[in-house]
Structure 1
Amino acid sequence: MNLKKIALVISLISCLAAPAFAQRDTVSLNTIIAKTAKYALSFPVEKVYLHLDKPYYSAGDTIWFKAYVTIDKHLPTTLSNIVYVDIASPDSMVRFLKLPVVNGVAHGNIILDPGSFKQGNYHLRAYTAWMRNFDADYFYNKNVTIGNAIQGAVNTDITFNTTPGQPKVSAAITYKQPGEVLAGKKVNWSITNATGDELSKGKGTTDQNGVLNVVLNENAATSLKNATLTTSIDLGNRKESLNKFPLTNAIAERDVQFFPEGGELTMGIRSKVAFKAVNTNGLGMDIKGTVTDNTGAVVANLESQHLGMGVFAMMPEDGKTYKANITFADGIKTTYDMPRVKPAGITLAVYNNDPENINVKLSANDPYFKANQGRAFYIIAQNAGIIYFAAQTTLQEQSYSASIPKSKFPAGVIQLTLFSERGIALSERIVFIKRAADMLNLTLTPDRKTFTTRQKVKFAVSAKNNALPVAGEFSVSVIDESKVPYDENAETTIMTNLLLTSDIKGYIEKPNYYFISKDVNADTNLDILMLTQGYRRISYRNILTARYPQIYLYPEQHGLEISGILRNNTGMPIAKGNLTLQIPSKKIYTQTVTDMTGNFKFSGLNFPDSSQVVISARNNVNSKALMIGVNGDSYQPATKNINALDEVPNIDSSLKTLLLNSKRQYDNLHILKEVVIKSTSLVKKASHSDYGTLSALPVIADQTITGERFKGCTNLYQCLPSMLLGVSVDDNNLFFTKNLSNNNRLPIQVFVNGKPVDYSYLSSLSGTDVETIEVFKNDGLSNINQNYQSDGILSIITRKIQTTKITFAQLQEMLPKGNLLTFNAQGYTVAREFYSPKYDALKQGGALGGDLRSTIFWSPNIKTDKTGVASFDYFNSDGKGTYCATIEGIDADGNLGRQVFRYTVK
């Protein structure tokens, strides 16, 4: 963050004027300002947004994306030069990408190969190393739903049923194949939690309608949270179909929460009270009702306005309690207790319906006014730790009103806080500022007015800010909406992410509604949303008491780094040791010297993933006695998906249009069907039971991972933890996470091909070495835990390699040399280029109707020059209907832009 910028903000604060507030220097106000400014300088806010080519996918597709990495007021970051993108299934990490950030942007792609991406909901994340020091809720988080037209020979539909007031939860699953219901079929099912523990299992038979009824949990429904239901239906002829259903929304109870403006209901002060009602699926549900006091008198009527949210006003009275009598849209009635009334207090109210000003009002009730008359109070407004307004007043009247010009603030979420003269936060309100001055005016202009299939289309791009042309970074996606229908209100966009959801903790339903809706009440509904949310990026209490976040990862400002330690053969670190690093494929050669503790670091490297790296310590005295150790990459463990409510339980029906198109694409490929040769003898899979030391372990492992899952892994030591369920790394050992805080914890014992090894040994293995990995939470009859003082076993079986006799000289050459280390390093993931067919060059070749692409065009490299213009072109596919072109991006000053252009192909 720029020091001059902070200084400018503070100077602006001293010049602000508000009618009811006298702004004068005070120690307390200046202390809050100075400490907040120090915090903003020390802990700048980085954000990452990914522009994806479309909202959901089918296995075999590719996710195309561009990353926008920002800092401060959405300026291109100068803090981090690397961004990480990963995608995980409910049980393990599937892909991990490391991308270079140049001028605040990066781009890449994720190939959704059917072998790795089964049908289901996936958690897509993006973050920098610096962002990992803070709450993972502020990463880019998105639920990505992936269907599978090949796997999905069986279509499923699941509904959950609960009985109000009872813990019993049941599910009804319908199984169908094209043209028939699967009646009378045997089904095995199991439920596992997020750490892979089996909660329950059972079996049943589908009825005449192809429906299987499953009681998910009789007694403890809450244990189903974040669990997954897996079913296997027997199709006969040794065929079965496996289906997984997230249970995130299966057990939620309908609920209504109440949010008094400013934080509390205060006796004698008329206050707005917002509310939010959710159904059993966790999403908003319409309600209406009344608020009554303890005498039964109605004091307010309420009715939801948007997605179960609404607002009403009430005047709390001394000695009274209140209840809300609610009727849900389906007729069910419930009563909820309202928040308790505070007998003495002061509140902050905000009116945000004026296009030019934020109007604020302070109200103190009689007891509070009498106790605090003449004392100083402060109002501070900030975004991302930068204070844009600060004012002081003395409490001489019970009510004060003032107007704050909106021009003082950037677009986005603003937190207003009322402080006492002792620096205690008394009341808080967040508001959303819409500023046309901070938005880019983007236009997409096609070169024609009518469109046909396989026709070349050229678009002119214009980018302006306040009518002036701007240079900027943009990305463009064009999709065939007839193949990918979606709810535009529910989209994640550069606006919804960087301006709204990235600053507010928790889930926001259909965020794009607040930016694109033509509903006259959209801005009012946005303000109600602000009343139901809290800004939690900074805590004034922590700032004023200097309780700062613990920083363990520093910004990666110098590209890729390889670090480690140089020791002698007795384990002592070697100071001022000479080291060289070579990457032959990139013709990189560099040198460094260890520090006084033997540590070394090679910075500023740039090489692709899986590049061979050679580090040598031979240019030292007594070099044969030296050993080189390299530090592994630090991986971000799995985190909660704050957008889990976006998960789609019925993928077959929800993605029906895309999956039908995907199936047509596969059919057109004329894929040869696999021929299964049956034999009286079966090929036995590699297993722990092949080794005597492990043969007494349980027959079935608690988790099994095949080697296919480790594609692209160059160092098993680094990759393995993200694949393991409920396992953490600490002090260079593996532990079950649930035991991590125990004082008497014991590590998991690792075996490779039946032989015990240390966890660090895995740094010598790559993903291509792995045949299978098995995890056991207990040791069965083997006594391994007792013999090795362990708690759990991890068995790794490597692939068999055909061997031939070698000479003694070859053997010597194969032996590792401590002063020379050769390994494959994880560099930048290489991004593919989107292929767009050129039908004019092909002279309209190929069978008409065969181009069934859903993503018609993608480009992450649209750059406008100083005149604010750019262009791009592509060819339509064979699909007829509505095409949607979307451009998003940002200019050098942090102004955001998005534009959507639809056209019809005939």
Structure 2
Amino acid sequence: MNLRKFLFALSFLLTIIRLSATAQRDSVALTTIIEKTQNYTTGHPIEKVFIQFDKPYYAAGDTIWLKAYVTAGLHIPSPLSKILYIDFINQQGILLNELKLQLVNGMANSFLPLPLNTYKRGDYRIRAYTRWMRNFDQAYFFNRTLSIGSTESNQVIPRITFKNSISEKTARIIADIVYKDQNGNPYANKKVNWRVMSDDQTIEKGRDQTDANGKLNINFLTDKVSALNTATVQTDLELDDKKLINKVFALETTPPDVDVQLFPEGGYLIDGIRSRVAFKALKPDGRGIDAKGNVTDNTGAVMASFDSQHLGMGVFAIQPENGKTYKANFTFADGTKTSIDLPTPRDEGINLSLNNSDADTLGIKIAANEAFFTRNQNKPFYVIAQSNGVICYAAQTNLKSPVYAASIPKSKFPTGIVQVTLFSVKGSPLSERIAFVRHNDLMNLSLRSDRQNYGRRQKVKMTVSAKNKELPAEGSFSVSVVDETLVPYDENDETTILSHLLLTSDLRGFIEKPNYYFNHPNSKTEADLDVLMLTQGYRRFSYRNIVSDRNPPITFLPEQGIEISGILRTNTGIPVSKGNVRLIIPDKSFSTQTQTDMSGNFRFANVLVSDSSKVTLNARDNPGGSNMVLTVTPFVTPPTSIFNNQTGYIANIDSAIHPYLENSLKQQNALNKTHTLEEVVIKDKAAPKKVSHSDFSTLQGLSIVADHTINGEQFKGCPVFFQCLAAQAIGLTSDGNNLYITRDYNAGTRTPVAVYVNGMATDYNYLQNINSDAVESVEIFLNDGLSGINRATNNKGVIEINLKKQPKGEKISKEQLADLLPKGYLVEFVPGGYDATRVFYAPKYDNPAAPRAGADLRSTIYWNPSIITDKTGAASFDFFNADGTGTYKAIIQGIDKDGNLGWYIYRYKVQ
């Protein structure tokens, strides 16, 4: 479906407005709300991203395989964007890698190796978005935490727990770490050096010894509270052979006790109105905990009793009385107790509630207390229900009695979240509730194998069947087959195309076990889902902003291809209007030219460039062209805020996924044996001295050793040097055209780092013209030592970029010198085209009984992101099992051309 068809279909949907049978004549206010909503949705269509991974977690040294789906409207493959960005961010908020994928029919697939020297043990945030999605709240980007475990030999498996107490001014940090070996034996009476670090700042350190159970206790008080948000606990466990085993843990800053939140239905309590109040009880790790208790008034009388029904969530009903206050008294599964005040009831008000228990209708109830009814009797009120930005129901009624009830056929809504809002005649939202409507309209997707039981390395033939109701469905699907013995995982905890596109993509915050609501739906899951709707935030669609015309500005247009843009100036900084800029792609023998506008801006749209292609921009062909300077507009990623204590992470990775890590270690050992080389002794002259800051008098006074040094090899082939510098500069944060020390930036200090190139002070524009391959090294100093640079330049910290030296003994001609110096009118760079993809390697065993050359230890047995069903809704594929025995699990999910979603799990045995 092309863009024009998509927008037409969207506009057509928006014109279908249903009024209830009791609704009276439309008022101006209701019409205004509907028209403004339609205009907003037409001008701000919503894109969503879902990514399927071949596994739920990984080990350092693995490769991640993935497929991305980008949808718009009612889940049709998006025609808006043709580029998807996927960021891999560590726990300190540093962007480690970025994939740029070309979307075809809203889909793309790729892979990402996890080299041991880059990806360490820890939790990583995967963030995916299109450029269009950046116009809206980042909370609705695709976000997922992926845990990466360690496969180091002689593995020490630790478990850490926190019992911290943190206030605004001081923090008591209490951590217990238990060290055990792979067999569960404790490392008793071992010396441990520990330190708590935030960036390069040491908050606390010590040296202690484990007890007989292998437990180490860390207990200290600090006033460096703000630094704890980025802190890690680093320990060195000393073994009998004096070998030190280093482990790093994210420091948890979550509350030490159970946290309880209360959510009155409709938004608030009202005197005299019986209302439901939902609650959510969370452990310090952000996951739910069972609770029970009662509600008492200020006289001690019990007004209600309750029990949680799912993951710490539950609901009770209460009718507040004027002049009374109320407390909810909780007893949690761990034996702890707490009491919290209910929100103060309003003296006057009207409330909206929903009854979602009927399969065919959604019940609406509007209740006003006596004070509100007296003041507003016979005044009109409006009820509007929308889903995915489309108004599916709108009604007007006059307040003729304190209670008004109606039923809306659920057939008016698509499957997904429905937002129902009560408005005053002035168009002000008064009360709101969200509900989940489920129809039996998901794709009937299934997998079947030619047998149920197989032998090791035996060939498996699978067939796919996809139907929309009874009609064949042509669609695109991704399939992952894993050895479930090596990769155990709770299906309820998975993020699937159903749970994400229909549920979590529209909600703020973490949803625990999202697939529970779709795995095996029944009356219990429906009731639990309704309580989730009562407790979870939904702010994607704000009527207050729409009615008051406070729509988000459109800063980023949808990308239809790679764009190269920038500005042409004279060397005095004056923009050059109607200047010529030529773009050349040498390896494609392609050349084109454009002219700048009145402000000196130029733009090349839909540039067809591969991932490693070099692009040259040249403005020499202008009068005075040798005195002109080209500046390329960099792609600045959204801020990568720290996600310390991101809910959903695995605190004790090594023990939680031990079977998988043990198998991964065997795989790596087998690979290392295969690639072992004979020792070679090389005799040569000592390597020449590398360029460093000490070679430049302007940088005298800096520390002899930099806080961080980046080898120039890490910039080799980098398209835009500044972008790669920002990504690899440890301890620094990029914002706009400047770099800042991360710990100061997070504390609110916005003083940029001073930047030097070969001892010369420079700025962002100069860095744009640096050839990445000419960089010898980059030295980062988090303070200026005794140099006085920061005081003189009003900066904080110093970066020195050392360019490679010309070899001694070679005379440099004027022409060579001119070639070495940056030319302002000429820019050569690799813009970073689409990341390449490759086919997942799966061995073939034509004769499974033949002698085995080596063990097949694969955990991902098969991965195929491009399963396409034909006009009959069928597809087939085959692969060979590995050596692992037990249960193999095949997961297929995807979308058809009409936006119907499908997900299915199939298991078979290997003996």
TM-score by length of 2: 0.92
Q: Render the CA deviation track for 1:136-159: whole Å, top value 9, x for unaligned.
A: 111110000001213673322212
The runs of 5 or more residues in structure 2 that have no matched partner are: none
1:519-547 residue CA offsets vs partner (Å, 9 max, x unmatched): 64111000000000121002111111111
Moved more, 772-781 or 131-140: 772-781
- 1:259 match: secondary structure: strand
Which of 667, 670, 674 is the matching residue for 1:668?
670
User: Quick one: which amino acid aligns to residue 564 of structure 2?
Assistant: I
Equivalent residue of 2:299, what SS? coil
Alpha-carbon separation, structure 1, partners of 2:653 and 2:751: 41
Aligned to 1:267: 271
Q: What are the Cα deviations for residues 860-902 of structure 1, in whole angstroms up to 9, with x where unaligned?
A: 1111122211111111111111111111111122111111111
Shift of 1:795: 3.1
Name the aligned partner's letter for residue 591 of structure 1.
Answer: Q
Q: Percent identity?
A: 49
Other-structure match for 1:719: 724
Contact 2:769–2:827 (8 Å) recurs in 1: no
Please name the residue that 1:50 is paired with: 51
Would you say 1:658 and 2:660 are equivalent positions?
yes
Aligned residue number for residue 338 of structure 1: 342
1:505 is aligned to 2:501:
no
Deviates more, 1:811-820 or 1:286-295: 811-820
Give 1:220-299 correspondences, 5 Å limit.
224-225=228-229, 227-235=231-239, 239-248=243-252, 251-299=255-303
Instruction: Determine the structure 2 residue equivalent to 1:192.
Output: 197
Contact 1:689 1:696 in 2 (8 A): no
Give the aligned partner of residue 365 of structure 1.
Answer: 369
Q: What is the aligned partner in structure 1 of residue 176 from structure 2?
A: 172
Stretch of structure 1 that moved more, 163-172 or 617-626 = 163-172
Secondary structure of the structure 2 residue equivalent to 1:576: coil
Per the alignment, residue 216 of structure 2 pairs with 212
1:407 and 2:411 aligned: yes
- Paired with 2:726 and 2:638, the residues of 1 have a C-alpha distance of 10
Partner letter of residue 203 of structure 1? R
Q: Which residue of 2 aligns with 1:460?
A: 463
664-673 or 848-857: which moved more? Answer: 664-673
* C-alpha distance in 1 between matches for 2:131 and 2:111: 20
Secondary structure of 1:862's counterpart equals strand
Residue aligning to 2:839? 833
- Choose which of 489, 492, 495 in structure 1 pairs with 2:498: 495
- Taking a change above 3 Å as real, the CA distance of residues 748 and 225 of structure 1, as seen in their structure-2 partners, is closer
State the 1:724 CA deviation.
Answer: 4.4
Equivalent residue number for residue 445 of structure 1: 448
Q: How far is 1:177 from its partner?
A: 4.1
Shift of 1:693: 4.4
Alignment of 1:732-771 (within 5 A): 732-736=737-741, 746-765=751-770
Shift of 1:224: 3.4
| Structure 1 stretch displaced more, 154-163 or 744-753 | 744-753
Q: Distance in 2 between matches of 1:516 and 1:742?
A: 43
Supply the AA of the counterpart residue of 2:546: I
User: Is the Cα contact below 8 Å between 2:163 and 2:175 reproduced in 1?
Assistant: yes
CA shift, 1:820, in A, is 3.5
Task: Within 5 Å, give how 1:71-86 maps onto structure 2.
Answer: 71-86=72-87
Corresponding residue for residue 597 of structure 1: 599
1:324 partnered with 2:328: yes
One-letter amino acid matched to 1:513: Y
In 1, Cα distance between the equivalents of 2:232 and 2:493?
A: 24
Structure 2 residue 398 is the aligned partner of structure 1 residue 394: yes
> Residue deviations 1:3-27, cap 9 Å, x none?
54454345421x4434xx3143111
Question: Is 2:128 the partner of 1:126?
Answer: yes
**What letter is aligned with 2:91?**
P
Aligned to 2:636: 634
Whole-Å separation in 1 of the counterparts to 2:321 and 2:648: 41
CA distance in 1, matches of 2:252, 2:773: 35
Q: Which amino acid aligns with 2:492?
A: N
Given that 1:470 and 1:864 are in contact with CA atoms closer than 8 Å, whether structure 2 keeps it comes out as yes
CA distance in 1, matches of 2:747, 2:88: 31
SS in 1 for 2:252: coil
Q: How does 1:857-872 map to 2 (within 5 A)?
A: 857-872=862-877
Residues 546-695 of structure 1: matches in 2 within 5 Å? Answer: 546-557=549-560, 559-639=561-641, 641=643, 644-671=646-673, 672=676, 688=693, 693-694=698-699
Unaligned runs of 5+ in 1: none
Q: Distance between the aligned counterparts of 1:653 and 1:292, measured in 2?
A: 43
SS at match of 1:49: strand
Q: Which letter does structure 1 place at the counterpart of 2:757?
A: V
Partner residue in 1 for 2:62: 61
Q: Is the 8 A contact 2:771 2:829 kept in 1?
A: no
2:525 corresponds, among 502, 522, 526, to: 522
1:896 corresponding residue in structure 2? 901
Q: Report which stretch shifted further, 874-883 or 204-213.
A: 204-213
Q: How many residues end up aligned between the 2 structures?
A: 897
Does residue 95 of structure 2 align to residue 93 of structure 1?
yes
1:499-532 CA-partner distances (Å, limit 9, x unpaired)? 1111001111111111113664111000000000
Q: Verify the 8 A CA contact 2:456 2:848 in the aligned structure 1.
A: no
Farther off after superposition, 142-151 or 297-306: 142-151
Q: In structure 1, the residue corresponding to 2:559 is in which secondary structure?
A: coil
Write the distance in 1 (CA, Å) between the matches of 2:227 and 2:234: 16
Code of the residue aligned with 1:143 in structure 2: it is T
Offset, 1:234: 3.9
CA–CA distance in structure 1, aligned partners of residues 648 and 679 of structure 2? 39
Counterpart for residue 32 of structure 1: 33
Distance 1:873 1:275 in 2: 49
Change (3 A) 1:444 1:123: same
Task: Supply the distance in 2 between the matched residues of 1:153 and 1:682 (Cα, whole angstroms).
Answer: 37
Distance in 2 between the 1:516 and 1:249 partners?
A: 33
**What's the secondary structure of 1:436's corresponding residue?**
coil
Q: Residue 34 of structure 1: CA displacement? A: 0.9
- Separation in 1, partners of 2:798, 2:625: 38
Provide the C-alpha distance between the structure 2 equivalents of 1:807 and 1:682, rounded to a whole number of angstroms.
22
Q: Structure 1 residues 105 and 705, CA, compared in 2 at 3 Å: closer, same or farther?
A: same
Match of 1:143 in 2: 145
State the partner residue of 1:532. 535
Equivalent residue letter for 1:758: D
Q: 2:454 corresponds to which letter in structure 1?
A: F
Give, in angstroms, the shift of residue 567 of structure 1: 2.9
Distance 1:464 1:168 in 2: 58
Q: Deviations over 1:719-764 (max 9, x none)?
A: 2234446755566333447877999964321133444332333334
After superposition, the Cα gap between the structure-2 partners of 1:505 and 1:197, relative to the gap in structure 1 and judged at 3 Å, is farther
- Structure 2: distance between partners of 1:566 and 1:637: 28
Is the Cα–Cα contact under 8 Å of residues 701 and 775 in structure 1 kept in the other structure? yes
Q: CA separation of 1:843/1:535 partners in 2, compared to 1, >3 Å: closer, same or farther?
A: closer
Within 1, Cα distance between the matches of 2:909 and 2:822? Answer: 64
User: d(CA) in 2 for partners of 1:379 and 1:296?
Assistant: 38
For residues 771 and 106 of structure 1, what CA distance do their matches in structure 2 show?
Answer: 36
When structure 1 is superposed on structure 2, of 363-372 and 624-633 the one drifting more is 624-633
Amino acid at match of 1:790: N
1:570 CA displacement: 3.8
Show the counterpart of 2:161: 159
